[in-house]
Structure 1
Amino acid sequence: MALPVGIFALFVLMVLPIPPLLLDMFFVLNIAIAVAVLMVALNARAPLDFSSFPSVLLFATLLRLALNVASTRIVLVNGHEGGNAAGEIIESFGQFLVAGNFAVGLFVFCILLIINMIVITKGAGRVSEVSARFVLDALPGKQMAIDADIAAGLISADEARARRREVTVEADFYGSMDGASKFVKGDAIAALLILGVNIIAGFALGMISHGLSAAEAGELYITLAVGDALVAQVPALLLSIAAAAIVTRVADTRDLAGQIGGQFADPRGWLPVAAILAAIGMVPAMPQMIFIPAAAIAGAIWWTLRKRARQPVVETAPEESAPADRIDITEVSDQTLVTIELGYGLVHLVDESASGPGGGAPLLTRITGIRKQMSRDLGFVLPQFRIRDSLEAGANEYRVTLGGLVVASGAVRPQKLLAIDTGDVREGHAVTGEATRDPSFDCPALWIDPGARDHAIAEGFLTVDPGTVIATHTNQELSSRANQLLGPEEVRAMIDDLKARAPALIEAVHPDPLSLAALTRILRALIADGIGLAHPQPLFTSLALALQTTQDFDALIDAVRVDLGARLVARICEPGARLKVLTLDAALESAILGGMVDPASGQPLIEPDCGAMIVERVSAAIKDVGGPVALIVQPPARRSLASLLRQRARQCQVLSINELPATQPVEVIATVGAQAAPEGLPAPDSEQGPPPQEMAA
């Protein structure tokens, strides 16, 4: 009830007469409030730390105007009784501060009014107006930046809400300050008008009602009017300074005094001050007793700051604020999906100040690059990777974990380069080094000294630094498990982005008939099958069409794959080129389809010996071709064979006969399970041979 009672008291001051003693108490309260507001404004670390300032300025202005009305009433009613008729504070300001000379008081009041209204208030109002305009113009960009950060996983939902609230408060604050500056300007004009009313009405009342002469009326009423105006103008000037200090602040972790003091603490700025003051003091016409001590003080400040700057900074450990027996959830859980753990011998790879074969922080640069590239290929923003040291790993070892599970590990030589034999190395080369295998592609390689790099390149080796080795291995393993990187948050961001461009398409898919969890499951399965999300519109179109006929999970995946068969083929075959195709022997395919079936999924089960034979033949075919191939099978066998070959023969794309585009030319390079491979097939538009669908059937 304090605020409503205070506002009611302001109206009482305006309407009812009050005794001089109570008026003096309110004058003291007004000055105290103005000083308190100024101190809070100076100690605020950012403008939003004093976000209630526009409202405080309104109430302080109302208090000052109410006191002006009350003091005017007392001055005009009791002014003929003497100097203390309107209270001791008005008398003191009218007698002591201006030495009883009302002409001096008028000039002082006019000067304070000019300073307040023209200099401080006008400047603060202009700053508020420009700040409000800039904040409002930047509001959409800040909102988009928050949405981008939460979509990228850089901030949580709670942090995003806090930042949105801060942006809204900032816009409201500067908009309110733009209008609140008019309060101060209006108050200054009102003070001038009230002074004129007090002088004119005092003359009239003194001479007409109380029989005073013009000199007596002027001495009494003008002195009281000037004292009243000065009493009101001093707190008004303090509030104007507070308003200007708030709107001209720049966000910093320090208060205004600390910010200014820290920026004036550079000793290089004080030595010229001391030299110039000393030079001026040497001029004969100048007061040397003032300039020389001032120069000495500036020199002492320079010496002190210079001595302090040379002292080493001692960092103190932060005090424990939480109880020793308290355990926070962040201490026992890791919210990062992908983590790269390094042994202590590899920590320099993420040190920006370090130097080596790959430059400063080479691993950070490589990891950022593969994260951006994978995000472009997959069509969604990957969560941030975490790089940390691990005491469990060896000195030169690294591990890549996905959801806490180790998916890649290896060892590198920190001060070496890896020379990889990609098949172009000359026989009998003279490059020497520690023999090893490339962890990404299992090629023979050598760890060599950086000085032998040019020699190794000349011999046909591909040379990479340790950071690139780790980044490439990470990329290789995460790409094969890309579906595990997609979560509901990424799907939600994709839906929101696509909804802005194709709202009807999203309405046909989500939230009915597919919930966010169901849609995430389908998209993860499509990514696992090699269909990226970089072009979501045709993908969602195929999904929406498939939903018109079925809502079964496996049937939806098969329908979308058939519709996007050309995209699957494009991953392993250049446009217009023949697709290198493997087929299964008819007897082998019949044995797989007629064998055991997984009771949970209904998919055929492949016996271990048969699976090992298929993997061996497919790997040999890939090696012979020297590139990716496609294994064309019947639709019921596709999912089982894809699961078998996904991690064991990554360059083999398993396609059902329905997914192969009718216009795609193919070349059968081998038949898995047969003694001899059939002849290559011509393009479908050729006059020789049947189309590929007839061949596979």
Structure 2
Amino acid sequence: MATTNISRGKRLAANTDVLAAVGIVSVVVMMVIPLPSFLLDILLTLSISGSVLILMLSMFTVDPLDFSALPSLLLIMTLFRLSLNVSTTRLVLLNGYAGEVVLQFGQFVVGGSVVVGLVVFIILVIVNFLVITKGSERVSEVAARFTLDAMPGKQMAIDADLNSGLINELQARDRRKKIQQEADFYGAMDGASKFVKGDAIAGIIILFINIIGGFITGVFLRGESMMQALQTYTLLTIGDGLVTQIPALLISTSTGLIVTRATSDTNLGHDLSKQLMRSPKALFITAGVLVFLAFFGLPMLPLFLVAAIMVAAGVYLQKNTKQIVVDESAAARETEIEESKKPENVLNLLQVDNMELELGYALIALVDAQQGGDLLDRIVLIRRQVASELGFIVPVIRVRDNMNLQPNQYIIKIRGAEVASGELLADHYLGMSSGIEDESIPGIPTKEPSFGLDAKWISAIYREQAELSGYTVVDAPTVLATHLTEVIKSNAWEILSRQDVKILLDHAKEQAPAAVDDALEHLNLGQIQKILSNLLRERVTIRDMVTILETLADYASGTKDIDRLSEYVRQGLSRQILQQLLGPDKNLPVLTLEPKLEQQILDSIQPSDFGSYLTLDPRILQGLMQSLSKEIEKMMLKGYNPVLVCAPVVRINLKRVTERQLPQLIILSYNELVHGVQVQAVGMVVAGNAS
């Protein structure tokens, strides 16, 4: 039997949406179909109890978003009360009787007096319309406006916490969702307050319509005397109005309680008891004021009674406060003793952050929003830029101060190891000349940290003069942001972890699950990570994960060599690689290797368990580097990207040999030159120069 009841309850809970739709349609139908008086009594009682329930829920709600259905509920309850009003009006005019609930409200609540009932009804309407509803409407409007205005600042604060490592991606997503929900809630409450306001106005209009209609019905249709008709129908109309206005007053109060709730961890009752009764002195002074008033002719008994209650409450609170302080002190001492007995937890010291940015104390202002620092916001933009260019999700960059550094120094670390550093003058601008130095502009000579260009730190008063002289002038945060961006792009292949690859694969699986499953059937996560690292090492974007995975699935069944698979993936991404190198005319100026030299390099490639490598004679290798340097310099003087084209097998080995001394050299294989690209050979590295 219990199992049957549980299953029925589950089916009922699963169909609540259908029940709600049927209920709303029924409310509308009530305006048209006459209802018997006994059913109307039940519905009126349901209206009152529902309003009391909403009021109680509003009082016990801690966060307004916990009652996010209130705006829609206000509309439903308003429509329900108006439907009941129409139904009771129909019965009053037709039968002169609308059920016991309306009759008892008309006779018992107002004592059967038309004048008293009319006055009480008008007071209720005035209180509801002018006091509670007007106030709730204004608070909702202001809250909605302030919430929308504060959204950008809150979003930036969330991004700052995310970048500093205080929260993770999931927590940041939840906070952003809550901010959006707050804006939607207060905006909806602003509109829902208009329903309550309209309900109060409709109540006044319906009152006078019912009185006039009832008087006409009683005198002209039922043959009653004018006084008897006025007494009967006015009393029933006032009873009807009170039955609907009291729930309306409760709903308006609920609305006011929800929209005026400030941030708190407890409900309204706890807040009131804790905040109103937290000061015994306030109770003693209030009691003294009451006693003082009693000696000026006011009734002594109620004043002395209330004063005595306040004094007793103040004495109790005073003793309770002292005991709480003693208990808290004892608990704190016990906790301190217990903590001192525990072995030191050193596990947190073992954690190594993926990326860190350490700042000297003079650079702390760059991250302090109160001092105008926007570095954290720039880091957010850097992460987005790298994601769009390389398809690589930069891990959280932890920013911290380091008092061991020089005041103007900063250090960039990857997994605890320093990879770059620099110095900034936070109150100066970095000026980089276009080739012609202007000695009239004073400054402190330095090197631009990202690319090692000659520059000088210029005071703010000379900024405009430097720009007019052709200098490129940037502020200190921009210098640091540019350096950080270049470090990330240059070291993305080292930063990429298996967990990052897992996230990329999960994202790709939403678009192309077959490609992911097929690739993972032949390769494990570590092998895919190494291939992606090879691509990032040469700044090849990995945004097109579908193409990468499909290429791996095609070739991984024949070989597990990471370098060879990386070359296959490069060929699959050749259009993306070439897109960044081509000019508007689709021409690609390149260097080539003399066939004899290329064959010599090819013959020197030796395979091993850890990949292939070159075994060129050191003198030949040195000559090759010199020849490449000369040709690269010629290309760059012509405004071309330094691009070398060679055989696929030679490409990756030659790149690894040259990437330290010639990091700017881009090496492509012949298989990466897709149809439609006009290749223009502008130079050749010959064997004679390399010997």
Letter of the structure 2 residue corresponding to residue 439 of structure 1: P
Aligned counterparts of 1:485 and 1:369: Cα–Cα separation in 2: 18
Letter of the structure 1 residue corresponding to residue 534 of structure 2: A
Kindly report which structure 2 residues correspond to 1:54-453, keeping only aligned pairs within 5 A, or say none.
Answer: 93-95=109-111, 101-102=113-114, 104-105=116-117, 108-109=120-121, 156-157=169-170, 160=173, 232-233=243-244, 235-242=246-253, 245=256, 249=259, 253=263, 337-351=354-368, 361=373, 370-371=382-383, 373-379=385-391, 382=394, 385-420=397-432, 423-425=435-437, 434-450=444-460
CA contact (8 A) 2:622 2:690 kept: no
Kindly report which structure 2 residues correspond to 1:472-621, keeping only aligned pairs within 5 A, or say none.
Answer: 472-483=482-493, 487-488=500-501, 491=504, 495=508, 499=511, 506=512, 509-514=515-520, 517=525, 522-533=531-542, 536=544, 540-541=546-547, 544=550, 547-551=553-557, 552=559, 553-565=562-574, 567-569=576-578, 571-572=580-581, 574=583, 575=585, 577=587, 579-581=589-591, 583=593, 586=596, 590=600, 593-594=603-604, 596-604=606-614, 618-621=628-631
2:412 alignment partner, SS class? strand
| Runs of at least 5 residues in structure 1 that lack an aligned partner in the other structure | 5-12, 18-25, 80-85, 139-144, 204-212, 258-318, 355-359, 500-505, 679-697
Q: Counterpart in 1 of 2:663? A: 650
Closer/same/farther in 2, CA of residues 246 and 610 from structure 1, 3 Å limit:
farther
2:487 alignment partner, SS class? helix
CA contact (8 A) 1:93 1:227 kept: no
Shift of 1:157: 3.0
CA contact (8 A) 2:410 2:423 kept: yes
CA contact (8 A) 1:434 1:447 kept: yes
Closer/same/farther in 2, CA of residues 236 and 221 from structure 1, 3 Å limit:
same
**Residue 636 in structure 1 maps to residue 654 in structure 2:** no
Aligned counterparts of 1:226 and 1:573: Cα–Cα separation in 2: 85
Aligned counterparts of 1:458 and 1:545: Cα–Cα separation in 2: 52
Letter of the structure 2 residue corresponding to residue 238 of structure 1: L
Closer/same/farther in 2, CA of residues 251 and 657 from structure 1, 3 Å limit:
farther
CA contact (8 A) 1:598 1:604 kept: no
Shift of 1:482: 3.4
Shift of 1:409: 0.7
Closer/same/farther in 2, CA of residues 331 and 251 from structure 1, 3 Å limit:
farther
Aligned counterparts of 2:474 and 2:665: Cα–Cα separation in 1: 27
Closer/same/farther in 2, CA of residues 42 and 596 from structure 1, 3 Å limit:
same
CA contact (8 A) 1:124 1:244 kept: yes
Q: What is the CA deviation profile of residues 494-535 of structure 1, one whole-angstrom value per residue up to 9, with x for unaligned ones? A: 6389x4xxxxxx35523433489576665443333332256x
Shift of 1:479: 1.9
2:518 alignment partner, SS class? coil
Shift of 1:466: 3.2
Closer/same/farther in 2, CA of residues 609 and 397 from structure 1, 3 Å limit:
farther
CA contact (8 A) 2:494 2:533 kept: yes
CA contact (8 A) 1:440 1:473 kept: yes
Aligned counterparts of 1:118 and 1:457: Cα–Cα separation in 2: 62
Aligned counterparts of 2:377 and 2:442: Cα–Cα separation in 1: 29
As a proportion of its length, which structure holds more helix?
2
Aligned counterparts of 2:678 and 2:234: Cα–Cα separation in 1: 104
Q: What is the CA deviation profile of residues 7-42 of structure 1, one whole-angstrom value per residue up to 9, with x for unaligned ones? A: xxxxxx979x9xxxxxxxx99x99999678547647
Closer/same/farther in 2, CA of residues 410 and 620 from structure 1, 3 Å limit:
farther
CA contact (8 A) 1:630 1:655 kept: yes
Aligned counterparts of 1:335 and 1:218: Cα–Cα separation in 2: 88
Shift of 1:635: 2.6
**Residue 50 in structure 1 maps to residue 60 in structure 2:** no
Letter of the structure 1 residue corresponding to residue 359 of structure 2: L
Aligned counterparts of 1:556 and 1:528: Cα–Cα separation in 2: 15
2:519 alignment partner, SS class? coil
Closer/same/farther in 2, CA of residues 425 and 613 from structure 1, 3 Å limit:
farther
RMSD: 7.0
Q: What is the CA deviation profile of residues 625-679 of structure 1, one whole-angstrom value per residue up to 9, with x for unaligned ones? A: 43642344433332233234334422111223433458512123434xx43379x
CA contact (8 A) 2:519 2:549 kept: no
Q: Which moved more, 1:360-369 or 1:29-38?
A: 29-38
Letter of the structure 1 residue corresponding to residue 361 of structure 2: Y
Closer/same/farther in 2, CA of residues 246 and 440 from structure 1, 3 Å limit:
same
2:540 alignment partner, SS class? coil
Shift of 1:56: 11
Shift of 1:398: 0.8
Aligned counterparts of 1:253 and 1:378: Cα–Cα separation in 2: 42
1:471 alignment partner, SS class? helix
CA contact (8 A) 1:603 1:636 kept: no
2:539 alignment partner, SS class? coil
Letter of the structure 2 residue corresponding to residue 600 of structure 1: F
Aligned counterparts of 1:331 and 1:57: Cα–Cα separation in 2: 53
Q: Counterpart in 2 of 1:262? A: none
CA contact (8 A) 2:352 2:416 kept: no
- Give the aligned length: 548
| Runs of at least 5 residues in structure 2 that lack an aligned partner in the other structure | 13-36, 149-154, 219-223, 269-327
TM-score (norm 1): 0.55
Q: Which moved more, 1:563-572 or 1:395-404?
A: 563-572
Letter of the structure 1 residue corresponding to residue 608 of structure 2: D
TM-score (norm 2): 0.55
Closer/same/farther in 2, CA of residues 554 and 39 from structure 1, 3 Å limit:
same
Aligned counterparts of 1:600 and 1:437: Cα–Cα separation in 2: 38
Letter of the structure 2 residue corresponding to residue 559 of structure 1: Y
Shift of 1:546: 6.4
Aligned counterparts of 1:601 and 1:677: Cα–Cα separation in 2: 25
Letter of the structure 1 residue corresponding to residue 402 of structure 2: S
Letter of the structure 1 residue corresponding to residue 246 of structure 2: P
Aligned counterparts of 2:349 and 2:60: Cα–Cα separation in 1: 39
Letter of the structure 1 residue corresponding to residue 570 of structure 2: R
Closer/same/farther in 2, CA of residues 226 and 108 from structure 1, 3 Å limit:
farther
Letter of the structure 2 residue corresponding to residue 343 of structure 1: G
